[in-house]
Amino acid sequence: EILQPTIVERVSFLAWKDEAFDFWNAWSKVYAEESPAAALLRGICSDWYLMNIVENNFQSHPEAIFELFDGLGTQTKA
């Protein structure tokens, strides 16, 4: 196996972003306009962000990227 860093070019990411949001918008039209499914998909298009997260530490264990998300959504005392 060849180990090399993952490179995400800005122009590629912007194309993926456009495709993803176009897909969700088109998918919402499959459902009745006032349905919860259509509302969810429209909400994704208008309120969500698309992110690309890459872990380039080849020496770490395969699940290392998920450690970044540990504790998200939990409240801490200040």
Q: Using one digit for the tens of pLDDT, what is the confidence trace for 1-38?
A: 666 777 888 898 888 899 999 999 999 999 999 999 99
State how far the alpha carbon of 42 is from the alpha carbons of 31, 33, 35, 36, 72, in Å: 11, 10, 11, 10, 24
State how far the alpha carbon of 44 is from the alpha carbons of 4, 19, 34, 47, 73, in Å: 33, 13, 15, 5, 18
Please tell me which residue, 17 or 75, carries the higher pLDDT value: 17
Predicted TM-score of the model (pTM)? 0.63
Identify which of 40, 67, 41 has the alpha carbon closest to the alpha carbon of residue 53.
67
